[in-house]
Chains A and B, each alone.
Chain A
Amino acid sequence: MKLRYIRQSILFEEHKLSRIKYIMKISTVLIIGLLTSISTMGYTQRVSVRLKNVPLKTLLEELQKQTDVALLFTENLIANKKVSLDIKDIKLTDLLNKELPKHSLDFKTFNGQITIIPLNDRKSEKVKVEVESKSIQESITVKGRVFNTNEPPLALEGVNISIKGGNTVGVTGSGGYYTVVVTKGSYLSFTTVGHHTKEVLVTKDENNLTVSLQDDVADVEEVVVVGMTEMQKKHIASSVASLNVASNIEGKAITNLSQSLQGGVTGLNVQQGSGLPGGDAATIKIRGISTLNNADPLILVDGVPMDMNHIDPVTVESVTILKDAAAAAIYGARAANGVILVTTKRGKAGQINILYDGYYGQQNPTQIPEFVDAPTYMHMYNYATVASGGQPFYTEEEIQKTSSGEDPINFPNTNWVDEIIDKYSPLTSHSLSISGGNDVARFAVTGNYIYQKGMLPLNQMDRFNIRANTTVSLSKKFLVNLDVLGIRRNTMYPNRSLSNGGIRMLDDLYRLPPTILPKYPQEEGWPTIYGRYADIVNPIAYAEVGGTLGYQYDQATINLQPKWSISNNLNLRGQFSYRLNSDVYKQKRDNFYFFDYYTKQLVQTWAVQRDAYSETRDTYLFMSTMLDYNKSLYKHNIYAMGGFSMEKFNNGYWNMSALASAYAKVNYSFDDRYLAELSFRADGSSKFGPGQKWGYFPSMALGWNVHNENFFNVDAISNLKVRASYGLLGNENIGLYRYQNLINTTNGTENVWGNPDITWEKVHILDLGLDLSILNNKLGLTFDYYDKRTKDVILQPTVAPSGSLGSAPLNSGEVYNKGFELSLNYNQDISKDFSFSFRPGFTYNKNEITNLFGGPYLSGIEINEVGHSIKSYYGYVSNGILQYSDFEENKINAKVPIVAGQGPGDIKYVDLNDDGIIDENDQQVIGDPTPRINYFANFSFNYKRLDLEFLLQGTGKHDYSANLGGKSSGYLWHPINMSASGGVPTTYRASNSWRDNNQDAIYPRILANPATNVLRSDFWLFNAQYMRVKFIQLGYRLNNDFLYKYGIKNSRIYLNAQNPLLFTGIKQADPESQGGSWTYGIMRTFTMGVTANF
C-alpha cells in the first residue's frame, strides 16, 4: 500500500495563474467523480482521534495513518486551520462530514481516494455542467495515451478527461490509454492530482493523441539539477541556486546567455564589459575572486564544458549554480570558481508542439561621447600647447573662420560622432522549436537565427543555432539521449584593431579633432580624398575603403547519453560527447591611395589585404560511466553514485591536455529531517608533471529540516532548513606544459619556463546556510555565509630581468575570500485577477591576499599585495588641484611638495612620506576594482492577461580607473596629450577643466604634455557604484479562443526594454562596462516580441 501525500503549494509563482485555474479544475473533476463514483469500502473504515489545538494537517495525517485511503489535499487549503478533537471509533467519512464544514471545507471520494475541497465548489460546478451540455454538435472519437513528463515517460492511469469546464467523458486505463467521444471542436481537459491540467483542442478523429502532464510540486519538492544528477530541493544540504529561466531569459533581448545571469541569483557578480556585437559576453564570478589566476567558473552544458555564450537562450531548460564545496566538489579540479550547469530542453511525450519565439528591436548606446566643437577645440589646443612651453597653433583668424562656417572645406567643424555612430541599430531573433513524441521516442528541435547590427559601420553579428535533442527508449530499461548541436556565428567588424570587447574605431572618435573634414569634394582624376589625421585616422575612410575583419565561429557537438535501468533503484549511465570548434578569420581590404588634398602628394598607401586563416580548431572528447543507486526504506532515503570520466582537449594543432577522473557521491536523508551529502573526486590532469598529476577533493554537507521535527510547532513557518558544508576544490586552470623547461626548436632560445613541482590551487570552502519559508509559503528566504581559503595559488614571481630568466610558475599564494548572500522571495495574490511577486537578493563579498611569495606584484596600476584585495589599484594620493596660492609669486616655486614642472591647475599629490618631494615612494594602495556588494530585485505583477516585470540590479562602491597608463585609453581624461597621440576633449571634461577663469574646476588644466597629471593616482579613480533597471517587460496573453481558430494554442506579445535606466555618479563611461575610449559600451535595447504555440 502506498502512502501518498500530495501537498500543493500555491506559492509556485510562475504558475500562479494556472494554479488558480488548476485548483478550480481539479475540484470540478473531483466533484464529477463524486457524483458518479461508487462507494468504496475504505471510506467506511473507522478511526479514533485525540488531538488538541493542532493544525488541521496533523489531523489529516493522523487519519491517513489509521486508514488505507489516500487523503489528498492542497497545502493552502488547510493552512492556518486548527482543530481539537477527541473522538473514538467513528467512520472516516462521518468524521470528515462533521469536522470539515467548520473550516469551510468539504471532501469527495473517488477511486479509493479522498480529496479535501472547498465547501462551495459543488454547487457552482453543477450549474456550469448543465449549461455546457446544451450544445449539440458533430461527434468525433479521440484515442490516445497520457504520460507524465519524466524521462522516460510513465503512463498515467486514472487521469480524468473532461470537456473543458464540463462533463467527464473518460478516464485513462492501464498503460494510460483512453478513448473518448466528444463533439468536434471541444477542448479536452486532462486532469489528475499532482499534475498540471492540460487542455487540448480536438477537431477531428484522432487515433493516437498523446498527452503529457507536468508534475505539479511544491517548492521544496521541486527537482533541481545538481552535480551529475537531479535532486529534490528538500534533500539538498549544499548551496545550490537556480536561475529563474522564465524571468531572466524568456523574451529578453540577450545575445549571450551569460548576460541573463545578471540579477536573479545571489553570489554572482556578472559584468557585461561590452556591447560589441559578437563581443558582448559577460564575465561571471561566483562568490567573488579567490585566485590571482583565471577566476571564471566551470560551465557545463548538458554535462560537458562549453562556452555558454554559444547556446541559444531559447533552448535552455534550467540553469543551476553550484556555489559551495559540497555542491561543486563532484567537479573537483575545475570547480574552485564555482560551477554553472545549463541543461537544455528535451521533448516531452505528447502532441507535436510548435513554438515560435521572436523579437525585433533597436539598440541605442547608453553612453555617447559628446565632444567639443571645432572652435572650442582650437582654443583649448592653443591653451594646452602654450601652457606646455609651445606656441599657439591656430590663429584667431582660423578660429574665427571655423566658427563662422564660411569656408567648411578649409575650416571644417565636423561632428564625428554623428558621422559614425548609428544611434539606433536593429536587433532581431527568431526561434522555431518543434517538439513532441511518445513513450518510444521524444524529440525537441530548435532552430534560432539572430541578427545584430552594431552602432558602427560594417559591424554586425548573425548566428544560426540548431539543436536537436532526441530520446529513444530502446526498451523499458534502456534509454538513449542523442543530442546534436550545430552553431555558426558570423561577426564582422570594420578593419580596425579589436581588443577586449572594444574597437579602435571608437578610440578614433576620441582622437580625431573636429577640424578634420571627413571627405573632400570629389575632384576629376583623383580618388576620393579623405580628411587625414595622423596615419589616416578617419573612420569614414575605414568604413568606406578600409575593408572588413570577419570571423566565422563554427561548432558541432554530439552528446550521447545512454542509461540502463538495471533495476528500479539502480541505473548505469554513460556519456559520450564530442565537440568540434573551428573558428576562421578573414581580413579583406582592397588597396587604396591617400592623397593630400592641398599638395596632391601621396601620403599613405593601404595595401591590398587578403588575410585568411584558421583561428582555432579545437576538439573536445568526453567519456564517462556512472552507476547510481536510489533507495527509500522506511524513513531512510539514500542516493549513491559513482563513476569515471576521461576528457581530452585538443587545442589548435597538437596542443592537448587530458583529464581522468573518478568520483562518488552519497546523499542520505532520514525522515526528511536529517540530511547528509558526501562527495569525493579524484582528478588526474596532464597539465601537471610526473608525481603531481593527481588531486583529491572531498566534501561534506549536513542539513536539518527543522520544520519536520515534532517539537517544531510554529505554524507560520512551513520550511526551515539549516545547512553546513565544508570541502576542498581545485583549480587546474594554468595553461599547458607548465612543468616543463623548453627551448625553441629553431634557434635554441629558451621559451618555456617550467616548474616540475607545479600543482593544483586548492580552495577550502565553508558554507553555513539557512532556508526559510513563512506566511504560508508566501515568503521564502535563503541565507548563506561562506569562507573560502585558497592555498597554493599559482604565482608567476617576477624575476630580475638582468638574468633574463623567464618566470616559472610557483604554488605559493594564499587568498582569503568571504561573504554572505541573502535572497528573498515574496509572492502575494491580492485577488483572483491580481498578483505580484518580489524577489530581491543581496550579496557581500570581500577578498584579501594573505600570503604572496615574492610580492607585491605590480602591473601598471594594479597591485597584488598581502593585506589587500586582489588587483587593487596602486598609485599616488591626490588632494585636489594646485592653485596659485600654492605657489610663490613667480608661479614656479611651490610652497607645497610638487612633482618637477607642476604649476597651478595641475593635480596636487600628497607627500605621504613627508620628505618634501613627491616621488615614487609616495604611492600606496588607492582603490579596489571589485564591488563588495551586489544586489538585485525582481518585481513582477500579473493582472488578468497582463504581466509586468522589471529587474533592478546594482553594485556597491568600487573603483573604476579610467586613466589606463595615460596613453591611448587615456584620451578620455587626457585630451590634447601631444606626448601621446593627441585627443579631443569631451564637453564635460572641457567645461570642468581648470583655467584662470575657472579655478575651482574639478579637473586639472589641459596640457599638451600632461606628464604629471597622467600619473596613476586616486584622482582618476571613480566610484563605480550604480543601480540600473536591467529590464522592464510588459506582456499580454492573447485571447485563446480567437487564436485557436488559426491554430495558435496560446500566445503572448511583449514589449521589452533592456538597460532602460541607470543611476550612477560615473561620468563619461558606463559603470558596468567601464573601460576607456576603445570600449563599446552596453546598449539600451527596446524590443517587441511574440511567443506563439501552434
Chain B
Amino acid sequence: MKTKYRFKKTILGAILALSIMQVSCDNFLTIDSPNGVSDEQWWNTETDAYNAIAQVYAGIPGGSSGRNIMYYSGLTDEAVHRGDFKGAYDDFTRGLATSRWGVAQSLWADDYTCIRRANRFLENVDKVFMDASLKERMILEARALRAYYHMELMMVFGDIPLLTKSLKVEENKQPRTSIDEVYSFIVDELKVCAELLPSTYTNADRHRVTSGTCWALLARLGMFKKDYELAKLASKKIIDSKVYKLWKNNTNKANSFSELFGYTGELNDERIFFKENGCSNAWTSFAPYGIGGETYLSPTNTVVDNFETKQGKTIYELGADSVAIYKKNPNYQNNRDPRLSASVFVPHENFQGKYILDPFYNPADKIGLTKSTATGFWIKKYIDPRDQQGKTGTLDFMIIRYAEMLLTYAEAMIELNQWNDASVLAAINDVRDRAAMPVVNTDVYNSQSKMRELIRRERQAELAFEGGRYHDIRRWGIDEEVMNGQVYGAINPTTGEITRVQTRKYSRDREYLWPIPEVELIPNENMVQNPNY
C-alpha cells in the first residue's frame, strides 16, 4: 500500500514538474545575443553617426596597408610584383587572371561593402539627434564616398550595378548598369558634394572628404572618360581655391620631393585625399631585404630611364654613350631628376651613409633571392628610415595630391589643344620647380604632341608608384604596348648584363577590364562576365 501511495506521489510530482517546466521553458529557451542590437534600437546620438560614417571611410584604400593602391604599379610597366603577399598581381601581367583573381574579388567586395554602409548611413541617419548642419555635412560625406567607391569599381570593371539603397535579401541580384549611367551618377553626386562640403577641416577631421576631394575625383573622372572639359573645370577649381600648395623645403629645395613621402613632410598642404596610416607597412612592403624589408614590388628599368637629367633632358636626347652610362649607373654623378633618388633606390646607392645596396653581389640583397628585389631597383617612396627598427609606422598615404591636379589640369588643356596657354606651362613648371628641375624648354616642347609627350613623362616622374599609372596607360591607349614582352631590371655594372626579370602577356580585348568575380557570378544570374574571361 505504502509503495503504491508513494508511486502515485511520484507520478503527481512528475506531472507537476512537467507543468512547471512547460511554463518556464519559454523563458528558459529564449536566449538572444548578448551583444547585438537592431537598427531600431541603435541610431540615436551624434557619436553613433560618427562611428557609423567612420565605417564608410574604412574602405578607402591605403598605399601599402589595407587595400593597396601602390601595388597597382605591379600591374603596369613601372614595377614587378613578387610573392603572395597582398594578392596575385603578377598573375594579371601574365594573362592568368580569371574570375577567381583575388585582387578583383577583394576590390569588388570591399567597395560594395562600403557602398552598403554608405546607403545604410543615408537611410538611418535621420533617426539620430544631432546638430542639423553637422548631419547635413555627414550626409554629403557619405554620398561623396558612395560615389567614390562606385568610381573605383567602374574604372576597372566597366558596367557595374549602381546601388543607391541598401538591398533587401530578395533584391540581391542586381544587373550591371551601363558605364555611362554610372558615370553620370558619380559626376552629379560629386558635383553636389563639391559645392556643399567644406574646403578644409581641422585636427582629427582632416582625413574627411572636402569640397576639394570631390573636385579632384571629378578631375580624375574627366580624364578617365576623356571629358577634358570636366577635368579642366575640376582641376581649375582646385588650383583656384588656393587651399592646396606643394610641399617645399625652402632651405634645401632638392629635398622637397623626398621629404613629401617621409615623416618630415607628412602633414603637408598638398594632400587632397589621403588615408591615415595608409603606408604604415611601406617598409615591409618595399624596402630592400638587406635592411629588413621584404621587397614585394621592384621598379623596372622603364621607370628609371624615364627620369630626365638635372638639365631637363631625357637620357635619349644625349646620345648612345650617355645612355649607356646612365643605364649602367642611373644616378651617374647625381645628375638625374632629384625625383629619381626620391623614388627609387638604385644599385650601389648608399643607404643612410652606412650601407651600400648591391643587388648583384651582396648575399643579403641579391636579385632573385626571396623577398629581395626582382630587378635590382627598389621603391623609395614612403620608405622612411624611422620605420626601419619597428618595420611599421604611421605614414599616411596620399591618394590624391595637389601635384597630380596641376598635371591633370595641364594635360586636359593640352588635350583640349590649349597647350600654349600660359597656365599649362605654369602648372607643369610649378611641379618641376618643387622637384628642383629646370623649367620646360619651350623650344623643344612647342606642339600639342610634344607637350603630350612631356606631360606623360612628367606624370610618370612625379607620380611613380602611387598607383595612378595603371589608369594612365589604359586611357593613353599604350597598355598593350607597354604590358607585353620581356621585362628588364638594372644592368650589372661589373658584367654589363641587363637583368631579365620576366615575360608578360597582355591583351586589351581581355585585360582592359577586370573579370567579374566568380563569387558574384554564381549566385547572381543577372550578372554578365566581361569579354574573354
Q: Residues of A with Cβ closer than 8 Å to B?
A: 385, 388-391, 393, 410, 532-535, 566-567, 570, 572, 596, 598-599, 601-605, 607, 625, 627, 642, 644, 646, 653-658, 660, 662, 684-686, 690, 693, 736-737, 740-752, 797-805, 808, 854, 856, 858, 899-901, 919-920, 967-968, 978-982, 1009, 1011-1012
Known A-B contacts A390-B368, A534-B371, A684-B25; the reply to A662 vs B18 at CB < 8 A is yes
Tell me, yes or no, whether B196 is within 8 Å of chain A by CB: no
Which residues of B are found within 8 Å of A657, using beta-carbon distances? 31
Residue of A nearest to B88 (CB): A979
A932 CB → nearest B CB, Å? 29
B355 CB contacts on chain A under 8 angstroms: 599, 601
Tell me the complex Cα distance, A660–B21, Å.
9
User: Is there an interface contact between B7 and A570, defined as CB atoms closer than 8 Å?
Assistant: yes
* Interchain CB contact under 8 A, A737 and B30: no
Q: Which of A751, A752, A802, A1011 contacts B96 (CB 8 A)?
A: A1011
Please report the C-alpha to C-alpha distance between residue A658 and residue B27 in the assembled complex, in whole angstroms. Answer: 10
Contacts of B83 in A (CB 8 A): 978-981
From B234-242, B428-436, B500-508, give the one contacting chain A: B500-508
- Segment from B61-69, B167-175, B440-448 that makes contact with A: B167-175
A800/B520 in contact, CB under 8 A: yes
User: B31 near A982 (CB under 8 angstroms)?
Assistant: no
What are 12 residue pairs bridging A and B, where the CB atoms are less than 8 Å apart in the complex?
Answer: A570-B7, A599-B364, A605-B391, A658-B29, A686-B28, A686-B31, A743-B37, A747-B51, A802-B160, A802-B524, A854-B523, A979-B88
Distance (Å) between the CB of B14 and the closest chain A CB? 6
Q: Chain A residues with Cβ under 8 A from B251's Cβ?
A: none
Asked if B36 and A625 make an inter-chain contact with CB atoms under 8 angstroms apart, the answer reads no
Closest to B358 in A: A599
Question: Which residues of the partner chain B approach A900 to less than 8 Å between Cβ atoms?
Answer: 94-96, 505
A919: chain B residues at CB < 8 Å are 98
Q: Is the CB of B94 within 8 A of A1011?
A: yes
Residues of chain B from 1 to 56 with CB closer than 8 A to chain A in the complex: 3, 6-7, 10, 14, 17-18, 21, 25, 28-39, 42-43, 48, 51-52, 54-55
Which residues from chain B sit less than 8 Å from chain A, CB to CB? 3, 6-7, 10, 14, 17-18, 21, 25, 28-39, 42-43, 48, 51-52, 54-55, 82-84, 88, 90-91, 94-96, 98-100, 108-109, 112-113, 115-117, 120-121, 124, 160-161, 163, 167, 169, 171-174, 284, 289-292, 294, 354-355, 362-364, 366-371, 374, 388-391, 486, 499-503, 505, 517-520, 522-524, 527
Are A805 and B167 closer than 8 Å at their CB atoms? yes
Considering the complex of A and B, which 4 residue pairs feature the smallest CB-CB distances, nearest first? A742-B36, A803-B172, A654-B34, A800-B524
B198 to chain A minimum Cβ distance, whole angstroms, is 23
Cβ–Cβ contact B370 & A982, under 8 A = yes
A795–B443 Cα gap in the complex (Å)?
Answer: 71
B29 touches A747 (CB 8 A): no
Residue of B nearest to A901 (CB): B94
B363 neighbours in A (Cβ, 8 Å): 410, 598
In the complex, the answer to whether A749 meets B84 with C-beta atoms within 8 Å is: no
Q: A601-B292, A655-B34, A920-B99 are in contact. Are A802 and B520 (CB under 8 A)?
A: yes
Interfacial chain A residues near B121, Cβ < 8 Å = 748
A390 adjacent to B91 (CB under 8 Å):
no
The answer to whether B109 touches A535 (Cβ under 8 A) is no
Docked pose: A802 CA to B374 CA in angstroms: 36
Give Cα A533–Cα B364 distance, bound, in whole angstroms.
9
- CB <8 Å contact, B17 and A644: yes
A856: chain B residues within 8 A (beta carbon): 522
Chain B residues with Cβ below 8 Å from A599 are 290-291, 355, 362, 364
Given A390-B368, A800-B527, A748 and B36 contact (CB-CB distance below 8 Å): no
> Do A743 and B31 touch across chains, with their CB atoms under 8 A apart?
no
User: Once the chains are docked, how many angstroms separate the CA of A393 from the CA of B368?
Assistant: 6
In the complex with contacts A747-B52, A801-B520, A979-B90 CB distance below 8 A: yes
Of B82, B290, B505, B524, the residue contacting A901 (CB under 8 A) is: B505
| CB closest chain-B residue, reference A643 | B14
Say how far A382's CB is from chain B's closest CB, in angstroms.
9
B116 touches A747 (CB 8 A): no
Q: If A388-B502, A748-B55 touch, does A660 touch B25 (CB 8 Å cutoff)?
A: yes
Judging by beta carbons under 8 Å apart, are B117 and A749 in contact? yes
Residues of B within 8 A of A660 (CB): 21, 25, 28-29
Contact of A685 with B29 in the complex, beta carbons under 8 Å:
yes
Contact of A740 among B32, B289, B501 (CB under 8 A): B32
Which of B30, B51, B112, B522 lies in contact with A798, CB distance below 8 A? B522
A389-B501, A747-B55, A978-B370 given; name 4 further pairs at CB < 8 Å: A660-B29, A797-B523, A804-B112, A920-B99
Contact residue among B39, B364, B368 (Cβ-Cβ distance under 8 Å from A598): B364
Known: A598-B363, A748-B120, A808-B169. A736 touches B10 (CB 8 A): no
Query: A605 vs B393: C-alpha distance in the bound complex, in angstroms?
Result: 14
Contact B522 A858 (CB under 8 A): yes
Contact A799 B523 (CB under 8 A): yes
Q: In the assembly, what is the distance between CA of A18 and CA of B233, in Å?
A: 102
A805 nearest CB neighbor, chain B only: B172
Contact status A686-B30, CB under 8 Å: yes
Q: How far, in Å, is A79 (CB) from chain B's closest CB?
A: 43
Are A693 and B29 interface neighbours, CB within 8 A?
Answer: yes
Minimum distance in angstroms from B50 CB to a CB of chain A? 9
Q: How far is the CA of A978 from the CA of B364 in the complex (A)?
A: 17
A803 touches B519 (CB 8 A): no
Q: Which residue of B lies closest to A737 (CB)?
A: B33
Q: Are A566 and B370 in contact (CB under 8 A)?
A: no
Known A-B contacts A625-B17, A981-B83; the reply to A801 vs B29 at CB < 8 A is: no
- Pairwise interchain contact B36-A745, C-beta atoms closer than 8 A: yes
Contacts of B354 in A (CB 8 A): 601
What's the Cα separation between A805 and B519 when bound, in Å?
13
- Beyond A800-B174, A1011-B96, is A743–B55 a contact (Cβ under 8 Å)? no
* B36, A805: Cβ atoms closer than 8 Å: no
Residues of B within 8 A of A627 (CB): 10, 14
A713→B51 CA distance, assembly (Å): 84
Q: In the complex the two chains form, is A390's CB within 8 Å of B371's CB?
A: no
Q: Is the CB of A567 within 8 A of B519?
A: no
The one of B33, B366, B518 that contacts A742, using a Cβ cutoff of 8 Å: B33
A1 to B29, CA, bound (A): 53
Question: Are the CB atoms of A802 and B163 closer together than 8 Å?
Answer: yes
Whose C-beta in chain B lies nearest to the C-beta of A391? B500
Contacts of B362 in A (CB 8 A): 598-599
Q: What's the least CB distance linking B474 to chain A, in Å?
A: 21
Question: Could you say which residues of chain B place their CB within 8 Å of the CB of A978?
Answer: 82-83, 368, 370
Closest to A1012 in B: B96
Establish whether residues A743 and B519, one from each chain, have CB atoms under 8 Å apart when the complex forms: no
* A979-B29 contact in complex given A743-B39, A748-B42, A797-B523, C-beta closer than 8 Å: no
Do the beta carbons of A535 and B501 come within 8 Å of each other?
no
**Considering the chains assembled together, what is the distance between the CA atoms of A646 and B27 in angstroms?**
13
User: A535 contacts which chain B residues (CB < 8 A)?
Assistant: 284, 294, 371
**Contact indicator A802/B112 (Cβ below 8 Å):** yes
Tell me which residues across on chain A come within 8 A of B7, comparing CB atoms.
566-567, 570
Say how far B344's CB is from chain A's closest CB, in angstroms.
19
- Residue with the greatest number of chain B CB neighbours at <10 A, chosen from A741, A978, A1009: A978
Give every chain B residue within 8 A of A684 (Cβ-Cβ).
25, 29
Complex CA–CA separation, A566 to B94 (angstroms): 81
Residues of B within 8 A of A534 (CB): 294, 370-371
Q: How far is the CA of A899 from the CA of B97 in the complex (A)?
A: 12
Cβ-defined contact, A654 with B370, below 8 A: no
In angstroms, Cα B82 to Cα A388, docked, is 13
Cα(A802)–Cα(B354), bound, Å:
51
| A808 to chain B: closest residue by CB | B169
Q: Are B33 and A736 in contact (CB under 8 A)?
A: yes
In the docked arrangement, what's the CA distance between A802 and B110, Å?
A: 9
Residues of A with C-beta under 8 A to B290? 596, 599, 601, 603
**Given B18, B55, B124, B391, which contacts A604 in the complex, CB threshold below 8 Å?**
B391
Contact of B33 among A598, A752, A1012 (CB under 8 A): A752
Q: Report yes or no: A901 in contact with B34, Cβ–Cβ below 8 A.
A: no
Contacts A390-B500, A566-B3, A603-B291 hold; do A385 and B25 have CB atoms under 8 A apart?
no
